[in-house]
Amino acid sequence: MMAGHHPPPLRDSMRIALRAPVRSSLARAFMALGLLSILILATAPAAFADFIAPDAGSGSPNAEGIRSLYLIIYVLAVIIFVGVGGLLLFTLRRFSAKRHPVAEQIHGNNKLEIGWTLGAALLLVVISIVTFAKLDGIDNPPNSGAEGAPVTEQGSFIADGARRPMPPNGKSLNIQVNGQQYMWRYVYADGDKDLLNNVFAYETMVVPVNTTVTLTIRSNDVQHSWWVPDLGGKFDAVPGYTNYTWFKATKTGTFRGQCAELCGRNHANMVAQVKVVEPAAFEAWYARQKQNIEGANKLAAAGRQALAAQAAQTSAK
């Protein structure tokens, strides 16, 4: 044995001997976990069908604009993730301790730092430009289609001077959406000054296709959130405050949504449903609802009069 040279302690020798098997076991464990995750995702396609963005062929122009923005940003994020992750894996492999026991000491690289700073700034500029290009179509509704139902702004629930989305010609079907534990109530505005005769419905909103619909969103109790993904973005229903949004259904069918704000123990049961029908079918449904409500109001008025008369007779005795 050379003078001044001492063998490594037993503890260090054991650590060196065990390091390789431990790394190998960890690598196998992570690989197995990755394969298991892929298998789980592959067996549940329906659960993740709308994970990235609402499904293809959204039912309204504003929903389609939101979906396009999500997809653009998602693609950019995937490209960045793959690039950064790939570079990281390459670096770990290329400059591992086995190949390079002593790493090269680097104290900075101005060109690289300037490059990724400018790249990130350029990416933000591109996202901003695309967002503002799409924002007008998301915020501002178009006119109803020629084949849509004839609607006017008469009898709207929209307050004077309120900042709300309106089509260029000012004509839309205005519906007041009232959230209450644990259901939605839809009141249709009309030119009738008697609010008791307004057409209303619970749970299912019925609207005509190719018709611009403006929504006045309110809450009667706690905070809720109106969200039908295929017909636009999410808007809160806040007590004492009014929110506005719109949609223009481009195809018939039933679109489903959900209250997106935890509002109590039965929050999960507070579903939203919009049924889009042809204009003629909508007019027929509206007329039936109007007739039923007016008939019920007349019966209620007659009942009140009978009770009042009975009370008067009782007090006269």
pLDDT (tens digit per residue) in 261-317: 999 999 999 999 999 999 999 999 998 988 888 778 777 777 777 787 677 777 766
In this structure, are strands 212-219 and 173-180 parallel, antiparallel, or unpaired?
parallel
Fold of 173-303: Immunoglobulin-like (2.60.40)
Domain ranges of the chain: 54-98+113-139, 173-303
Between 299 and 235, where is the model more confident? 235
**Per-residue pLDDT, 191:** 65
pLDDT at 12 over 70: no
Q: Phi and psi of 15, rounded to 5°?
A: -60, -45
In this structure, are strands 271-277 and 253-258 parallel, antiparallel, or unpaired?
antiparallel
pLDDT at 240 over 50: yes
Mean pLDDT of 187-193: 76
Q: Could you tell me if 232 and 246 are in contact, meaning their C-beta atoms sit under 8 angstroms apart?
A: yes
In sequence order, the 6+-apart residues with CB closer than 8 A to the CB of 8 are 16
Cα three-residue angle 236-259-139, rounded to 5 degrees: 45
Residue 190, number of CB atoms within 10 A of its CB: 19
In sequence order, the 6+-apart residues with CB closer than 8 A to the CB of 103 are 95
Mean pLDDT of 240-253: 92
What per-residue string of b and e applies to 148-165 under the rule 16 or more CB within 10 Å gives b? bbebebeebbbeeeeebb
The model's confidence at residue 17, banded by pLDDT at 50, 70 and 90, is: very low
What distance in Å separates the CA atoms of residue 294 and residue 312, rounded to the nearest whole number?
A: 27
**Per-residue pLDDT, 102:** 74
**Per-residue pLDDT, 107:** 78
Between 11 and 235, where is the model more confident? 235
pLDDT at 37 over 50: yes
What one-letter code names the amino acid at 275? K
pLDDT at 256 over 90: yes
Assigned token pair, 98: 């086995």
Q: What is the pTM of this model?
A: 0.71
**Per-residue pLDDT, 1:** 46
Let me know how long the chain is.
Answer: 317
Query: pLDDT tens digit string along 46-105?
Result: 445 555 555 545 789 999 999 999 899 999 999 999 999 998 888 888 877 777 777 677
**Per-residue pLDDT, 161:** 52
**Per-residue pLDDT, 41:** 59
**Per-residue pLDDT, 56:** 46
What one-letter code names the amino acid at 219? S
Mean pLDDT, rounded, of the chain: 80
